[in-house]
Amino acid sequence: AQSVTQLGSHVSVSEGALVLLRCNYSSSVPPYLFWYVQYPNQGLQLLLKYTTGATLVKGINGFEAEFKKSETSFHLTKPSAHMSDAAEYFCAVKDNQGGKLIFGQGTELSVKP
């Protein structure tokens, strides 16, 4: 069965610092991987996705993620945090037998001024 593990339920960085949110997945087939962001009282918004091709994926708001098959990882990064990045971030893998997404537990990002 496929699964997603996000290391760290809460990450705090200073404004301008590097953001690194960790995600590891388990899948027996080449995965489709996603990062979503959720602002308070809002739905999920797609940040970026990996399906095939280039392993470094660029998304919205300056975020990017790198698919590393050897490490079964898909960590999310941003070179310089902004106050508006404070939110909950979810990593997900698409089920290989259908369309559903399997989510990690989420990582809450706080940005200090």
Partner 1 sequence: GAGVSQTPSNKVTEKGKYVELRCDPISGHTALYWYRQSLGQGPEFLIYFQGTGAADDSGLPNDRFFAVRPEGSVSTLKIQRTERGDSAVYLCASSLSAANTEAFFGQGTRLTVV
Using CB under 8 A as the criterion, which residues of the chain lie in contact with partner 1 when the complex forms? Answer: 4, 9, 32, 36, 41-46, 49, 51, 90, 92, 94-95, 98-106
With residue 44 as reference, give the H or E element that holds it: strand 44-50
Q: Is 63 exposed, middle or buried (0-12, 13-18, 19+ CB in 10 A)?
A: buried
Residue 10 near residue 89, CB atoms below 8 Å: no
Q: Cβ of residue 69: shortest distance to partner 1, in angstroms? A: 18
Residue 17 or 88: the one with the smaller Cβ distance to partner 1 is: 88
Q: Cβ of residue 78: shortest distance to partner 1, in angstroms? A: 20
Residue 48 near residue 104, CB atoms below 8 Å: no
Q: Cβ of residue 45: shortest distance to partner 1, in angstroms? A: 7
Distance between CA atoms of residues 97 and 52, nearest Å:
17
Residue 36 or 111: the one with the smaller Cβ distance to partner 1 is: 36
Residue 28 or 41: the one with the smaller Cβ distance to partner 1 is: 41
